[in-house]
Amino acid sequence: MKVQASTRRAEFIAGVRAISPLLIGSIPFAIIFGALAVTNGVSPMTAAAMSAFVFAGSAQFVAVGMLAAGADNWIIILTTLIVNLRHVLYAATLAPHMKHLSQRWLLPLGFWLTDESFMVAIQRYNQNDRSPLKHWFHLGTTALFYVNWQFFTYVGLWAGRAIPNPGGWGLDFAFPATFLGMLMPQLVSRSVVACVISAGTAAMLFNPLPHKLGLIIAAFCGVAAGIVVERWAPSPTAPEEELEHSGQSAYQRANKP
């Protein structure tokens, strides 16, 4: 992904365009959430409020299931907190790129952060153009995704009351397919491949654990594997990176006082 944007508007529009293909996977997920919420006895107002003020797809599904099962509120809060712990890893990755931003930027960008927006935004932050406006690109990815999730949650709320057995539509395949689409372009180094293999293996091994604990363990296994491989067997530098580095070094030597 190459972005040549020099204005706030250009960065924002570039972010909207970059996230747009990933909306396809979230649309059926939002519809299914809204439909399952009302069919499980959750009021439409409560389900809409969850999408508006929680805005965490996997956590919302877990919460709806636990509400339908009559679980205590503290158990629901603890479980959804565990499910969303992966956002701590996202935040740690984004922090160096966002440390110059004020709270009026950090609060909305943090609240609107999703798996999809993180994957798109971090690619923009890692580009070497040194633009001070990359957070506008980030805003474009998160704002569109938030609006999309709200709209199709309402579609699901309507469908859940109008169409029988919405969970049997089979639309939930789109979400993992979207994640695979986001993941494949990132498999460009040994550390990332090790991270993916380790996390995937751990996720299968620990899948029987309750409250999605297997996903949390898998996340930490993936991070640990990536760190170990990056330290002891780093990927060779790409030719274009070597050329860019050598060019920078030559420029620095030529302009050395």
* 37-56 average pLDDT score: 89
Rounded to whole angstroms, the Cα distance separating 28 from 15 reads 22
For residue 249, what pLDDT band results from cuts at 50, 70 and 90? very low
What is the band of 210 on the pLDDT scale with cuts at 50, 70, 90? confident
pLDDT bracket for residue 180 (50, 70, 90)? low
* Most confident region among 5-19, 66-80, 82-96 by mean pLDDT: 5-19
CA–CA dist 27, 144 (Å, integer) = 12
d(CA 1, CA 17): 11
Lowest mean pLDDT among 27-36, 38-47, 120-129, 233-242: 233-242
Identify the pLDDT of residue 48.
Answer: 93
Task: Give the pLDDT of residue 12.
Answer: 94
Highest mean pLDDT range out of 152-156, 211-215, 235-239?
A: 152-156
Write the CA distances from 99 to 10, 105, 135, 252, integer angstroms.
22, 10, 11, 27
CA atoms within 13 A on the CB side of 125: 18
Query: Is the pLDDT at 256 greater than 50, yes or no?
Result: no
Q: Domains of the chain: which residue ranges?
A: 8-179, 187-257
Query: Where is pLDDT greater, at 121 or 185?
Result: 121
> What's residue 182's pLDDT?
55
Give the pLDDT of residue 189: 75
Query: 245 pLDDT exceeds 80?
Result: no
Residue 71 pLDDT level (bands cut at 50, 70, 90): confident
Q: What is the dihedral of CA 144, 150, 152, 158, to 10 degrees?
A: -160
Q: Per-residue pLDDT for 7 more than 80?
A: yes
Q: Which of the two residues, 179 and 218, has the higher pLDDT score? A: 218
pLDDT at position 166:
58
Which DSSP string do the residues of 3-72 spell out, in sequence order? ----SHHHHHHHHHHHHGGGHHHHHHHHHHHHHHHHHTT--HHHHHHHHHHT--HHHHHHHHHHHHTT--
